[in-house]
Chains A and B, each alone.
Chain A
Amino acid sequence: MQELTITRHNELIDPLLHIWSWQIPVYLFLGGLVAGIMIISGWFVLQGRYKHTTFSTFYLPHISLVLLSLGMGALFLDLEHKLYFWRLFTTFQWTAPMSWGSWLLLTIYPALWVNTLIRIPERFQGKIPLFDRLSAELNKRPTLIKNIGIANMLLGTLLGMYTGVLLSSFAARPLWNSAMLWMLFLVSGLSAAAAFVHLITTDVYERVLLAKADNAFLTLELFVFGGFLTGLLTSSRVHVEAVRLLLDGPYAPVFWVFVIGLGIVVPLIVQLLAVNHKVKHTPVAPILVLAGGLTLRFVIVYAGQFSHWT
C-alpha cells in the first residue's frame, strides 16, 4: 500500500484543485450556446430566411451579443488580476488556446453585429440612420450577405470548438485530456442553441425545423459521449480514474441523471414524439436540453479539476 503525505496546503490547490467555480462553466455554456446560435442563424442567412422573418437574423444575433457579453462578464469575474485584463490583447500566443479564444471573441462581436444589419425590422428602422444606410448597402450585395452567413457559421464553429479545446489542452487534468471534448462541447452547444431558438422563436417553420435538428444533435451528442467515455476508459490509469469520477464516482449521480437522462435522453424522446405529432410541442424538452447543457459544463469543469495525476 502507498501512503503519500504532502505538507503543501495552498488555497484553491489542495487537497484537490478547485480554482474554477461557477464562472467558467457558465462562460463555457454561454459560449457554446452562442456558437450554436451563430451556426443556426448563419445557416438561416444562407437559406435567405431574412427575407421572411427578422427573428433569426436580427433578434438572434442581438441576443447572442447579450449572451456572449454575459459569458465574458462571468469570465472577467473569474480573473484574479482583473486590472491586467487588457494584457490578453497585447500579444498573441499561438500555443495558448486562451489567446486564440480572446482574439476569436474579438472577431465574433463584429460578425454578429454585421449579421444584425442584414434586415432591420421596421420598428427599428430610422432609429440609427447610419445602420439603415449600411443595411441598404448590404442588401445590394447578396454575395456579401451569403458570406456573412458563412462567417457566422464558421466563427460559431470555431467558438464551439474552442470551449472544448480550452479544457482539453490541460494535459494535467486527465478528464479533460480527450480529443473528443471539443466535439462534445460543439454538439452540445448546437443542441442547446437549437433548443433555445425552438423555445423563443415565434416562427412555426423554424421551431419545427429546429426541433428536428435538435433531435439529430442530441443523438449525435450521445455518440460523441460514447466516444469520449470509451476513449478515456481505454487510456492510461489516471484517465480511467478520471472518467470513473463520472461513471461511478462522486459526480456519477449528477452526470447520469441530469446530463444524460434529463439532459439528453428524456428530451430526445419527448421531441421525437412531438415531431411525429404523437404529443404537442411544449417548452419542456428545450428547457431540459438547456439545463442539461449547463449541467454538463459544470460537471466537466468540476470533475476535471478533481481529476489528477498523483
Chain B
Amino acid sequence: MSELNRRKFLKISAATVTVASGAAAFAKSPAAQTAPAKRAAKGVQRIPTYCDICFWKCGAIASVRDGVLWKVEGNPADPLSRGRLCPRGTGGVGAHFDPDRLKRPLIRRSDRGREVWAEVSWDEAFAYIANKMHAIKATYGPESVAMFAHGIGGNFLKHTLKAYGATNFAAPSFAQCRGPRDVGFKLTFGEDVGSPERTDIKNAQCLVLIGSHLGENMHNTQVQEFAEAVGHGATIIVADPRFSVAASKAKYYLPIKPGTDLALVLAWMNVIVAEGLYDKEYVAKYGFGFEQFAASIATYTPEWAYPETGIEPDIIRATAREMAKHKPATLVHPGRHAAWYGDDSQRSRAVALLNALLGSWGRKGGFYAPVSMSVPGYPYPAYPTSTKPKVDNPDGRYPFAHEAITTGIREATITGEPYPVKGWFVYATNLIHALPNEAETIKAIQNLDLLVVVDVIPSEIAGWADVVLPESVYLERYDDLNVEWFREPFVALRQPVVDAPDEQKPNWWMAKKLAETLGLAHYYPWKDIEEYLGHRLAGAGLSFDELKQKGIIPGAPQPIFFDEGAPAEFATPSGKIEFYSLQLQTAGFDPVPVYTRPAEPPPGAFRLISGRSPVHTFSRTQSNRVLSDMMDENEVWINADMARRMDLRSGDYVRLKNQDAVVSNRVRVKATERIRPDCVFMVHGFGHTSRGLKHAYQKGASDAHLITRYATDPLMGGTGMNVNFVTIEPEAAHG
C-alpha cells in the first residue's frame, strides 16, 4: 500500500509542476527537465497501466522520476507485451509531453474547417453540445446523432449516446481495415480473426504473409512471435510487391503484382488439392462442400496464375508444397489492413480456405481459440429502444457486414437517406485520414448541425469540428477494463500515472458530465470511475487494489487448441468449415472465390500502395516528439531503376498526382531496389494539414489525400483503397 500512498502524494505534488515540465521535456537540455521537478516527489515511482499508442493494449509500467514522467516499459506480467513494448509504446512518454496537444475545450468561431476557435469552459462546451443534441432529437430523433470511435476509450461516450437514444456507431477498423478479413473468415469458420489476431505465430513452422508486413506493422505480440518463429527456423513465405522487412526474413519472397493475391492463393489451393497435399482427415471431419470447392478451383493452375501474378509456376508449386509439408503448423496469416481492391472479403475467404486445407484452424502453429475472463458489465438502466433501422447499411445492401460501416453513415449523412444524420461524435479517430475520399467526408460534415471531436491532438477531423473536447492521454487517466480475448485470459487496468498538463479530461468524465447536462444522470449511478471499476471487478471476484498494484490479473488457463480440448465448433449455417458457401450463393455471390483481374495503372502511372512504419500509429503520433525524432516525414518508395529513368534520386522532393488530378504535398523520394517498378509505396499517416499540429504540419505526404477512388466490397461494404494510380511530378529542390 505504501506504493499507492506515494503515488497519491505524487499526484498532488506533481500537479504544480507538470505544466512547467511538459514543454521542457525533450528540449535541448536534460537539466531543463529535471529543474522544475525539484519540488516534486523524489525518487522513482513505477505505476502499471496499459498502452494506448495503438489499440493492441499492451500492459506497461510507467516510471515517474522526481514527479516527472520518465519512461514507459512493458509489464512482464502482461501476456501481450511480455515485458517489452513496441517502439511506439516505448515512445508513449512523448504523448504526454507533446506541446501541440489540445489543451482546453474549443468552440468553432468561423466557417467549418478554418480552425478558428474560442477557448471555452467545460460547462460551456457541454451546454453547447446538449442544446444541439436536444434540437436534433426534437427535429429528427436521437438516431440522427452518430458516433465514430476507435479504441476502448470510446466506451463511456458510447454509453452516454446510447442513453440519449443514438444507435449508429461505427469504427474505421471495420470497413477500412480488418472488416473484409473478418467477414471472409466468418463465412468460412463461423468466427472472425479478432484483435489481437488469434494467430499462433510462435509455433508456426511455416508462416505465409500476403502483403502483411510484420516488423514494420508493429503489433507487439505478433512481431515478438514473428521473431520467435524466424529464430527457430520456421519457413517464411512472403508475397508482397515491396521487399518488406518480413520479406528479408523469408526463404521465399514472391514479388507479386499488386492486386493479384487472390490468383496466387487460388493457385496454391489448386496445387494442394491437385497433389492431394491437404489435411484429408481434417477436411473430411470438419469440411462442408469440399468436392464442389475442389471442382471450382480446378482451373486455377500455377500456369494460369503466372501471367496474372508474375510468380513462376515452379515457385508457386514449391511454396504450396512447403506449406503442405509443415501442416497443420502452417499459418497463412490473414493480415489486418485488408481493404485493398474491393474483392477483399472473397480474397480473405480464400486465405481462410487455404488455412482450412492445411488444417491450421484450431491447431498449434495455426489459429487458436481465444479465451477470456468473465467480468460482468456495470448494471445500467436499459437504453431507449428505437424503431428506426441503422443508417450505415440500409436494407442489408451489404449482407455480410457484421459491424457498422463508417462510409455508410457518411453516405447517409450526405443523402439524408434512409433518414437524416445531423450530429457526429468522433472519438480518437482522424476520419480525414482514415476514410477514403476526403471530399465526401467534408461534404457530409457540411450537412451536420453538430460535430463533436474528442481527441488528444488537433487532428484534421478536429479542425472541422464545432466543438473540440481535449482528452487527457492514457498516462493521465483511467479507462475501462481491458478484458482481453487472447491465448490466456486476463484483465488489465489503465490508471493515471501523471496529471494532465492543462485542462484535458478523461473520456469517462466527459461522458458522465455530458450525460448529466443532457438530463441523463441516472445512467451514471457511480460517483467516479474508481467506483465503476471497483464494482465491475468485485462482480468478478477480483481485487481493485491488487489490479492497481500489478496492472494485470491473469485468469485460469483454458484449452485453446482442438487437441487440447477447445471445442471444434463452427458457427456457420452448416456447422462446419464452409469450403462451399451456400449463404453466399443464396445472396447472389460466388460460393467459392473467383478471381477478377484488377485494372492496370495507365502508362507512366504507378499504383499507390501504403503501409505502416514501426514508429507511428495511423495519423495519431506524428507530433509525438520522441516518435517524430525516429521518423518525422514519410517517403515515397520508387523502384531504383524507374527513379533513374525519371532522373530522381533519394531525397529529392516530388508531388504525386492521382487519376482525379489531386496533388499531394511534397514528399521525398526513396529510390530503392525494394519495390516493384509498377507501384509506389508510402507510410500512412503523414502530410498533416491541421495547423494545430505545428511540428507535423505538411511534413511528408498523405496517402489518404490521394485515395479519392475506392472499390466497395459488395459483401460487406469495405472500401478497397489500393485502386488509385499516381504520376510523379518533380518538385524544385528547396528547404
Contacts and interface: CB of A to CB of B under 8 A. Distances in A.
Please say whether the chains A and B touch (CB closer than 8 A): yes
Interface in A1-53: 1, 3, 7
Contacts of B640: 1, 3
B472 interface: no
Contacts of A1: 640, 673
A3 B630 contact: no
Nearest to A15: B651
Contacts of A7: 630-631
A7 B629 CA distance: 10
Interface string B666-687: 0000001110000000000000
A3 B671 CA distance: 10
A7 B630 CA distance: 7
A7 B87 CA distance: 14
A221 to B, nearest CB: 39
A10 to B, nearest CB: 11
Interface string A77-104: 0000000000000000000000000000
B649 to A, nearest CB: 12
Nearest to A1: B673
Contacts of B630: 7
A7 B635 CA distance: 13
Interface string A215-231: 00000000000000000
Interface in B613-651: 630-631, 640
Interface string B647-672: 00000000000000000000000001
Contacts of B631: 7
Q: Does more than half of chain B's interface fall in helix, strand or loop, or is it mixed?
A: loop
B614 to A, nearest CB: 11
A1 B674 CA distance: 12
A3 B673 CA distance: 8
Interface in B136-157: none
Contacts, number: 8
A63 B630 CA distance: 52
A1 B672 CA distance: 11
A170 B631 CA distance: 32
A118 B273 CA distance: 105
B244 to A, nearest CB: 14
Nearest to A2: B673
Nearest to B651: A15
A7 B631 CA distance: 8
A7 B614 CA distance: 13
Nearest to B630: A7
A240 to B, nearest CB: 24
Nearest to B632: A9
A305 B242 CA distance: 36
A268 B393 CA distance: 90
Contacts of A3: 640, 672-674
Contacts of B672: 3
Nearest to A7: B630
A198 to B, nearest CB: 47
A1 B641 CA distance: 12
B650 to A, nearest CB: 9
Nearest to B635: A5
Nearest to B673: A3
Nearest to B671: A3
Nearest to B629: A9
A145 B630 CA distance: 64
B547 to A, nearest CB: 38
B645 to A, nearest CB: 16
A5 to B, nearest CB: 8
B707 to A, nearest CB: 27
A7 B673 CA distance: 18
A286 to B, nearest CB: 42
Interface string B399-416: 000000000000000000
Contacts of B673: 1, 3
Interface in A83-140: none
Interface string B215-250: 000000000000000000000000000000000000
A1 B671 CA distance: 13
A3 B674 CA distance: 10
Interface string B24-63: 0000000000000000000000000000000000000000
A142 to B, nearest CB: 60
Nearest to A9: B629
A55 to B, nearest CB: 51
A3 B672 CA distance: 8
Contacts of B674: 3
A84 to B, nearest CB: 16
B195 to A, nearest CB: 29
Interface string A161-194: 0000000000000000000000000000000000
B642 to A, nearest CB: 15
A3 B640 CA distance: 10
A7 B633 CA distance: 12
Interface string A143-165: 00000000000000000000000
B460 to A, nearest CB: 27
A158 B631 CA distance: 48
A1 to B, nearest CB: 7
A304 B673 CA distance: 31
A3 B630 CA distance: 20
Nearest to B615: A7
A7 to B, nearest CB: 7
A1 B673 CA distance: 9
B90 to A, nearest CB: 15
A155 B718 CA distance: 81
A62 to B, nearest CB: 43
A45 to B, nearest CB: 52
A7 B674 CA distance: 17
A82 to B, nearest CB: 16
A203 B367 CA distance: 96
Interface in B668-713: 672-674
B447 to A, nearest CB: 44
A1 B643 CA distance: 15
Interface in B434-464: none
A1 B640 CA distance: 11
A292 B641 CA distance: 43
A7 B613 CA distance: 13
A115 B674 CA distance: 68
A1 B631 CA distance: 25
A161 B452 CA distance: 73
B388 to A, nearest CB: 52
B498 to A, nearest CB: 29
B677 to A, nearest CB: 15
Interface string B462-501: 0000000000000000000000000000000000000000
A15 to B, nearest CB: 9
B633 to A, nearest CB: 11
A176 B141 CA distance: 80
Interface of A: 1, 3, 7
Interface of B: 630-631, 640, 672-674
Given A3-B674, A7-B630, A7-B631, 4 more contacts: A1-B640, A3-B640, A3-B672, A3-B673
7 contacts: A1-B640, A1-B673, A3-B640, A3-B672, A3-B673, A3-B674, A7-B630
- The 5 residue pairs across chains A and B that have the minimum distance between CB atoms: A3-B673, A3-B672, A1-B673, A7-B630, A3-B640
